[in-house]
């Protein structure tokens, strides 16, 4: 389940990705190392694109908060996907990557004036307006620039997705979007339709992340189609687009049961088609924005084992050369991961160990209680499904440099993000002259 794309355990019992042994990657680029499997990434893009394309006018946009960098944006565009961005920084990266701006959607609940100006000037496809503050500000910005901007309005549909508290967003009590149940959504739609410089293309919603029940998506699609019908009745307008968000769950560890992208497409599109018929609506263009399911399984992280501490009868801690700085998810969400001994993986004897990070913090644990061969200092460990929300959430806590990322494909490995140096760590610091050592 954790071996995806080009990942495999080869004849020698070693982990291989992109046709290269993990040990060779570690020797060439050092550890910790983010490894991104190009074939796997492209395959994931195509799976989602094709699953939805078979139902007609649809667009899959990649939620780039999962992994935002120039080379990845290029691959995303080559595979025919659009882009979901949430900040001026991601927008800047997209511009630098030469991404077709018409296929870029700008989300977020507190876009600044500067971010809006950059977005409008760059000819960005849609700005997804989250609240009335943004609506007024964007109208003002567009008036100043004498431009019209296509927008979508983010609606909170009131769907409770079964996932971690911090990553569910569609419920009533959420910081995102216009609430449906109390009339705020309809009031916002009315206000948006009255704006001179904004062209409302449709509605957006997103119910959360790491979701496995396809019924959550069909419920959402049903609710949103009902909203489109109400809009038609009240304002005599049929919106062209409906964005039902992302959140498609992936396999991290035992218990995760990801579906095929076709199951997602079916849950959404069957509901949309049926509701369009029932409510006498034109079928809107459906947009979906998977993130982790595109980049997550295509990534793995290589670590070298350092110190090993055994507390007899209690636990064996195996410390690696990274941790919560390159993968915050276990510390932040109690997220689970799977790992293997990557090099010389034929060693058979197994034991239960816990993989610790190297930060000065007890909570810096990557994996609790995993069965692995007996490990020695110097061994290479691969942690899977780290392509999403790892590099993008990485920090320099304890002044650890962020790892490099290599893109591997058919026997070639290219650095797409350089490893940070100690100099990088103090690049923005200023040593005041009066404090400098004399």
Q: Give the catalytic positions in this structure.
A: 360
14, 344 Cβ separation under 8 angstroms = yes
Contact between 66 and ligand LLP by CB under 6 A: the answer reads yes
Out of 157, 290, 299, 357, point to the residue binding ligand LLP (CB under 6 A): 290
Q: How far is CA 415 from the centre of its chain?
A: 21
* Residue with smaller CB distance to ligand LLP, 269 or 341: 269
CB of 206 to ligand LLP, least distance (A): 4
First vs last Cα of the chain: how many Å apart? 59
Question: Segment contacting ligand LLP (CB under 6 A): 48-56, 189-197, 223-231, 285-293?
Answer: 285-293
Q: Does 63 bind ligand LLP (CB under 6 A)?
A: yes
Per-residue string for binding with ligand LLP, 342-381, x by CB under 6 A? Answer: ----------------------------------------
CB of 83 to ligand LLP, least distance (A): 11
| Subset of residues 104 to 123 that bind ligand LLP, contact rule: CB under 6 A | 107
Q: Which residue of this chain has its Cβ atom nearest to ligand LLP in the complex? A: 291
Quote the least distance from Cβ 248 to ligand LLP, whole Å. 5
Least separation, in Å, of the C-beta of 417 and ligand LLP?
A: 18
The answer to whether 209 contacts ligand LLP (rule: CB under 6 A) is yes
Q: How far is it, in rounded angstroms, from Cα 409 to Cα 63? A: 23
Q: Which is nearer to ligand LLP, 15 or 45 (CB)?
A: 45
Q: How far apart are CB 163 and ligand LLP at their closest, in Å?
A: 9
Give yes or no for a contact between 33 and 54, defined as CB atoms under 8 angstroms apart: no
Q: Which residues contact 17 (CB under 8 A, 6 or more apart)?
A: 5, 6, 7, 8, 25, 35, 37, 300, 408
Residue selected from 4, 103, 201, 292 as contacting ligand LLP according to rule CB under 6 A: 292
Least separation in angstroms between residue 108's CB and ligand LLP is: 9
Q: Is 134 near ligand LLP (CB under 6 A)?
A: no
One residue of 84, 134, 139, 321 binding ligand LLP per CB under 6 A: 84
Q: Applying CB under 6 A, does 158 fall inside the site for ligand LLP?
A: no
Check if the beta carbon of residue 102 is closer than 8 Å to that of residue 158: no
Q: How far apart are CA 339 and CA 369, in angstroms?
A: 11
Binding segment toward ligand LLP, per CB under 6 A, in 21-29, 116-124, 239-247, 379-387: 239-247
Taking residue 378's Cβ as centre, other Cβ atoms within 10 Å add up to 9
Interface region with ligand LLP, contact rule CB under 6 A, candidates 4-12, 203-211, 224-232, 373-381: 203-211
Instruction: Note if the bond before 32 is cis, omega within 30 degrees.
Output: yes
The residues, any chain, with a CB within 8 Å of residue 55's CB and separated by 6 or more, are 265, 269, 273, 286
- By CB under 6 A, the residues from 2 to 61 that bind ligand LLP are none
Q: Which stretch binds ligand LLP (CB under 6 A): 28-36, 202-210, 308-316, 318-326?
A: 202-210
Contacts 24+ apart (CB under 8 A), 307-313: 307/377, 308/375, 308/376, 308/377
CB of 305 to ligand LLP, least distance (A): 25
- Positions in the binding site for ligand LLP (CB under 6 A): 63, 66, 84, 107, 167, 169, 206, 209-210, 245-248, 289-293, 329, 333, 388-389
């Amino acid at each position: 389940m954790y071996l995806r794309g080009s990942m495999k355990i080869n004849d020698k019992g070693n982990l291989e990705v992109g046709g290269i042994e993990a040990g060779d990657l570690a020797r060439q680029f050092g550890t910790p190392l983010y490894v991104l499997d190009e074939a796997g990434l492209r395959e994931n893009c195509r799976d989602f694109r094709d699953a939805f394309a078979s139902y007609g006018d649809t667009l899959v946009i990649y939620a780039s908060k999962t992994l935002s960098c120039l080379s990845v944006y290029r691959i995303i565009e080559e595979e025919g996907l659009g882009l979901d961005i949430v900040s001026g920084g991601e927008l800047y990266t997209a511009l630098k990557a030469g991404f077709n701006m018409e296929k870029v959607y700008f989300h977020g609940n507190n876009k600044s004036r500067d971010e809006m100006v950059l977005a409008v000037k760059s000819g960005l496809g849609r700005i997804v307006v989250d609240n009335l503050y943004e609506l007024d500000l964007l109208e003002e910005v567009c008036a100043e620039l004498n431009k019209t901007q296509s927008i979508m309005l983010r609606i909170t549909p009131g769907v409770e997705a079964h996932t971690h508290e911090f990553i569910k967003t569609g419920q009533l009590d959420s910081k995102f979007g216009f609430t449906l149940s109390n009339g705020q959504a309809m009031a916002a739609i009315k206000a948006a339709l009255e704006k001179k410089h904004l062209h409302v293309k449709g509605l957006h919603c997103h119910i959360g992340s790491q979701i496995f029940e396809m019924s959550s998506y069909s419920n959402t699609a049903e609710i949103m189609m009902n909203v489109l019908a109400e809009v038609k009745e009240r304002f005599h307008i049929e919106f062209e687009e409906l964005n039902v968000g992302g959140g498609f769950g992936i396999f991290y560890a035992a218990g995760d049961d990801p579906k095929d992208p076709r199951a997602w497409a079916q849950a959404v599109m069957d509901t949309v088609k049926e509701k369009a018929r029932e409510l006498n609506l034109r079928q809107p263009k459906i947009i979906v924005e998977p993130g982790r399911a595109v980049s997550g399984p295509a990534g793995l992280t290589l670590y070298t084992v350092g110190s090993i501490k055994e507390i007899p009868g209690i636990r064996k801690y195996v410390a690696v050369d990274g941790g919560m700085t390159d993968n915050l998810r276990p510390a932040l969400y109690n997220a689970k991961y799977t790992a293997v001994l990557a090099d010389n993986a034929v060693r058979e004897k197994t034991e239960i160990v816990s993989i610790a990070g190297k930060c000065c913090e007890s909570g810096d644990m990557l994996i609790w209680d995993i069965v692995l061969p007996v490990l020695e200092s110097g061994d290479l460990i691969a942690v899977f499904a780290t392509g999403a929300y790892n590099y993008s959430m990485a920090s320099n806590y304890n002044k650890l440099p962020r790892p490099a990322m290599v893109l591997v494909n058919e026997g070639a490995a290219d650095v797409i993000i350089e490893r940070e140096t100690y100099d990088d760590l103090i690049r923005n610091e200023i040593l005041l002259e009066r404090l400098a050592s004399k």
